[in-house]
Amino acid sequence: MLRYLLRRMIVMGASLLAASVVIFSVVELVPGDPASFMLGTGAQPETLAALRQQMGLDDPLPLRYAAWLGAILQGDFGTSFTYKTPVAPMIGERLQVSLPLAVLALVLAVALALPMGLHAAAQRGRVGDGLAMGAAHLGIALPNFWLAMLLVLVFAVHLRWLPAGGFPGWSDPLAALRSLILPAIALALPQAAILARVLRSSLVETMGQDYIRTARAKGLSRGQTLRRHALRNALIPVLTILGMQFSFLLAGAIIIENVFYLPGLGRMIFQAITQRDLIVVQSAVLVLVAAVIAVTFLVDLAYAAVDPRLRRA
Amino acid sequence: MRTGLILGALLAGLALAAAVLSAFWTPHDIARLAIAEKLLPPSPAHWFGTDHLGRDILSMAMRGAQTSMVVALVAVAIGMGLGVPLGLLAAAHRDRWPDDLVMRGNDLVFAFPSLVIAILITAVFGPSAVNAIIAIGIFNIPVFARVTRGAALPIWTLDYIRAAQVAGKGRALISLQHVLPNIASLLIVQATIQFSLGILAEAGLSYVGLGAQPPTPSWGRMLAEAQTMVTLTPHVAVIPGLCIVLTVLGLNLLGDGLRDALDPRLRVLR
């Protein structure tokens, strides 16, 4: 188990390092110079030179990368070009919206997909299966931002049950949660559809195994076998998809936040792109990618928890 | 079973036909703005109504189909063109350094969702349909590499490969002559899936302004423009959304149907 853990951790560290090099290099490609951008066009050459020196822009590339990474490891993401404030607290503040949204959507997706996939597998080949999988097919084809617009139209504009957008802040947790419900549903439904399909086919495959026949032979009902024996064994592919989905949810949240005017990481990225605030874009992308890599690592750990055979690998 | 394949082929065929037709003809000229005719409901003159600038929504949707299909198709071509050779290379050198290099590179690209790639590219070069293609294309590369490698590995253990090796053929030649034809059906199915994902991704990117720029019509941008009017004139937002759903649904049904038809071994247990 320890060796498995250690190997996974080394892989995670290497991925993070490689990702940071990629992100740093891409932003380095941008034409123009952040110092002159910060000072504007009318800046004195001496002031510009001084700021360039202060920002370390005259240093060679590898040195600048090392300085950038070293600062990030100490929690310093640099200073926003437009707001002139440190980027790290900005990101932290935005994550308080984006992270709960992604987690809420993931929980919703699992809560929907689990009964749906189990039901479809139990009803395999019958009407219930056909209906569930038909719905799943439709769900996969739904663009989440369009679903979001329809949800707003029905539940916010016509029924007035939930807010159409905006975020009141966590000082009023109930109101904050209420404003995250529609965005989370819009994110969760298409993901739940994918998850339900994967769960069903994984369950159906597992149900063909010998030990399932044994369980049935000793008198367990189909439903009991499904829940007690098949579900756990069918979970590996489901976990894989779940891990990939978290990155889709984070990315999807970037778009959905724009539909609902939520002050999350996604909104910040788009504002930063229009303002050409590259350091914010760079840092936010790094945080997103790091989150994806960390989730992949957690999924690997979950494999080991679900399937003891993997711990010896 | 066949109903899925036929329905899928019909829906996807319809979208493709609209896309091709729009290159030569649309019911109305979408470059002509007619503010006096803005936000009209569906009528015999405008089957799907008009948008906030008085443009015919049916014509816009047809040209939008063209944008979506071109972006998704080129992105699939990029993914296949680079991913399949990489996957074949990895499988041919199983567990040696080319394999490791390709797989670790894959893992790295996998950590960047296509939207994040698009954000990075846009931050550097500015938004455009070409950048959307590149972003979705890069995202497709590891998908094809992984599928190709996974399918090619078991083939390398078969007797006829051994025979080809004994006959003196090199790894590259064997990959091309014996492995590739045997995994082609799988790749076609994956291409259909990535094509439909590409259409969804293009819509998402255009919606947030990272894809096709005005005046190029695109389903995602039509939705973005409709957002503020959705309460007053829902048809402006419903039509482009339905176009996306039906096209993607059609492609997915087509992919499932093709998988069953081309290779019975891959059939999902029913």
Are residues A124 and B104, on separate chains, in Cβ contact within 8 Å? no
- Three-state DSSP at B19 gives helix
Q: Which residue among B112, B204, B230 places its CB closest to the CB of A289?
A: B112
| Chain B residues within an 8 Å CB radius of A276 | 123
Q: Is A71 on the interface with B (CB under 8 A)?
A: no
In a domain, residue A28? The reply is no
In a domain, residue A295? The reply is yes
Residue numbers of the domain that contains B8 = 2-269
Cβ neighbour number for residue B263 with a 10 Å cutoff:
16
Residue B114 CA, distance from chain mean position? 12
CA dihedral (B157, B158, B159, B163) positive or negative: negative
pLDDT at B246: 93
Per-residue DSSP letters for B23-56?
A: TT--SS-TT---GGGTTPPP-SSSTT-B-TTS-B
pLDDT at A67: 85
- For chain B, the domain total comes to 1
In a domain, residue A278? The reply is yes
In a domain, residue A70? The reply is no
How far, CA to CA in Å, does A306 sit from each of A9, A237, B205? 19, 11, 37
Across chain B, how many H-helices and E-strands are there? Answer: 10, 0
| Minimum Cα–Cα distance from A164: chain B residue | B231
Are residues B108 and A247, on separate chains, in Cβ contact within 8 Å? no
pLDDT at B263: 66
- Segment B133-190, tens digit of pLDDT: 998 999 899 999 988 998 888 888 888 888 988 988 888 888 888 899 888 888 988 8
Residue numbers of the domain that contains A100 = 87-311
In a domain, residue A131? The reply is yes
What confidence tier does B269 reach under pLDDT thresholds 50, 70, 90? very low
| Chain A residues within an 8 Å CB radius of B112 | 19, 22, 289, 292
Using CA atoms, how far apart are residues A118 and B69, in angstroms rounded to an integer?
A: 36
Q: Is A27 on the interface with B (CB under 8 A)?
A: yes
In a domain, residue A198? The reply is yes
- For chain A, the domain total comes to 1
Average pLDDT, 10 consecutive residues per value, chain A (313 residues)? 81 88 82 68 77 74 85 83 83 89 91 89 82 87 90 86 82 87 92 88 82 86 82 78 79 85 87 82 88 84 74 56
Domain of A258: which CATH number? 1.10.3720.10
Domain of B99: which CATH number? 1.10.3720.10
